Chain A
Amino acid sequence: MPKQIQSPAGPAHARILGVGGYRPSRVVTNEQICQVIDSTDEWITTRTGIKERRWATAEETVGMMSVSAAGKALAAAGIEPEQLGLVIISTVTHLAQTPSLAAIVANELGAVNAAAFDVSAACAGFCHGLALAQDAVRGGSAEYVLVIGVERLSDLTDMNDRSTAFIFGDGAGAAVVGPSDTPAIGPVVWGADGAQYEAIGQTFSWDALREQPELGFPALRMNGQQVFRWASYQMVPVAKKALEKAGITAEDLDAFIPHQANMRITDAMIKALKLPDNVPVARDIARTGNTSAASIPLAMERMLEEGEAPHGGLALLIGFGAGLVYAAQVVQLP
C-alpha cells in the first residue's frame, strides 16, 4: 500500500461575486453593414433583432478587452488580482495557437498566484467556464476564479457574406466566482453533439492556408436553418433540465439570460419554455450583436446596471454554439 495522500477540500458552495463587461468603442449600424452587402435595416432586424453591434478598433485587442472587463468584475467582487487562484478564458478569436490568452491576461492583471488556461466552447464558453470555476472553488483547487468570455468576431467575419455579415460583434464579459455560504450556482447541464460539427465553423482550417495561401483569411460560416432549429427546439429540454436540477421552475426566475445568438431564437425558446411574461429576458443582442462567449456576461451586466434584473435574483443561463456544444445553469445574480 502506498502512503495515503491528502485530497483537496473546498467550501460547500460557490457564487458569482461580481460581473463586468467591455464594449468596444466603434458602433456599427445596420445601415453601415448594408453599404457592403445588399440588404436592409428592416431585413436584418426582422431576422435577427440586431440594430447595431460593436466592432473593436486595432487597439481593442482580445487581451485589452479582457483586462478591462476583468478589472470591472474584480472591483465589483471586491477581490484583488493576487487573490485569484485560476483564470479561465473562453474565446475563439485569440488568433494564436499558443500560448493561451489566459496566461497573458493573468500576467497583465497581476494575478501572480493564478493558474491560467483557455477553453474552446464557442458561444457556450462562458457557461462552460462558470461550471469549471464552481468546481474549482468547491473542489478546493482555487479560492477565487476569474471567468472571461471575449471575442473579436469581426476578425472572422466575411463582410460580403449576406448571411452572416450582420450577426457578429466584439466585446468581453467577466465574472469572479468565489466561496459562498449558500448554494448560488446550480448544477450544470452540458453536452456536445459533434455529429453537427459542420453546422457552424470556419470556411477553412488554418492548415489549408499552408497549401493554398491564395485562400486568404478564413471567416465564420453557419447553416442558419440547421442552427436555428437545433437552438430553438433542442435547447429547450436542456434549459428545463437546468431548472429541474436547481430545484426551481420557470416561475421562480428573476431573469432569463440566454446566449445572444439571434432574437428569434430567444423568442422561440421563451415560447417553448412557457416562460412567464413577467420574467425579464436579456435582449442585449439588439445593440451588441452576437458576441459568442462574451454575450451572457455582457447581457447580465447590462440587466443589472439598468435595473432590469435584481441583484441576488435567480437567472437561467444557457449557452449554445459551434461544436455543436451547450451548457446551462441557474445562478444567483451578484
Chain B
Amino acid sequence: MATQEEILSGLAEIVNEVAGIDVEDVQLDKSFTEDLDVDSLTMVEVVVAAEDKFGVKIPDEEVKNLSTVGDAVSYIASHAG
C-alpha cells in the first residue's frame, strides 16, 4: 500500500511526463486546471497513466471531481489495490 507521499511523488512524475510541468510544482493544494494549466484532455492522460501506475480504476464521471492534486491523491489512496 503506497503512502500519501509515494502517491504524490508518483503523480508528480506522471504530470511531469504528460504535461511537462516541474515535479516540485505538483503539490497537494494545486488545482490541475488553475495552477498547473492541465486541460481537460491532458487530465484524461494523467488519469489513465495513474490507473496503470497505481492499479486503480478512475471512472470518467469521477475525473471531474478531481480538481486539486490532493483530490487525486486521496482518491487513489482510498481506491488503490
Contact = CB atoms under 8 A, between A and B. Distances in A.
Contact of A223 (B47, B48, B60): B60
A46 B40 CA distance: 11
B39 A226 contact: no
A228 B48 CA distance: 11
B45 interface: yes
A225 B41 CA distance: 6
B43 A268 contact: no
Contacts of A229: 44, 47-48, 60
Interface size class of A (residues with CB under 8 A): 10 to 19
B2 interface: no
B39 A225 contact: no
A232 B60 contact: no
B38 to A, nearest CB: 12
A47 B44 CA distance: 13
Contacts of B43: 225
A47 B48 contact: no
Contacts of A225: 40-41, 43-44, 60, 63-64
A18 to B, nearest CB: 36
A171 B12 CA distance: 43
A47 B40 CA distance: 9
A117 interface: no
Nearest to A262: B41
A232 B40 CA distance: 14
A193 to B, nearest CB: 13
Provide the main secondary structure of the chain A interface: helix
Contacts of B41: 47, 224-225, 228, 262, 264
Given A224-B41, A225-B40, A233 B48 contact: yes
A290 B60 CA distance: 23
Contacts of B45: 232, 268
Interface string A265-306: 000100000000000000000000000000000000000000
Nearest to B45: A268
A304 B54 CA distance: 44
Interface in A10-69: 46-47
Interface in B26-64: 39-41, 43-45, 47-48, 60, 63-64
Nearest to A233: B48
Contacts of B64: 225
Contacts of B63: 225
A223 B48 CA distance: 17
Contact of A46 (B39, B48, B60): B39
Nearest to B47: A229
B28 to A, nearest CB: 23
A221 to B, nearest CB: 15
Contacts of A223: 60
Interface string B59-81: 01001100000000000000000
A226 B60 contact: yes
20 contacts: A47-B39, A47-B40, A47-B41, A223-B60, A224-B41, A225-B40, A225-B41, A225-B43, A225-B63, A226-B60, A228-B41, A228-B44, A229-B44, A229-B47, A232-B44, A232-B45, A233-B48, A262-B41, A264-B41, A268-B45
Given A224-B41, A232-B44, 7 more contacts: A47-B40, A224-B40, A225-B63, A226-B60, A229-B44, A262-B41, A268-B45
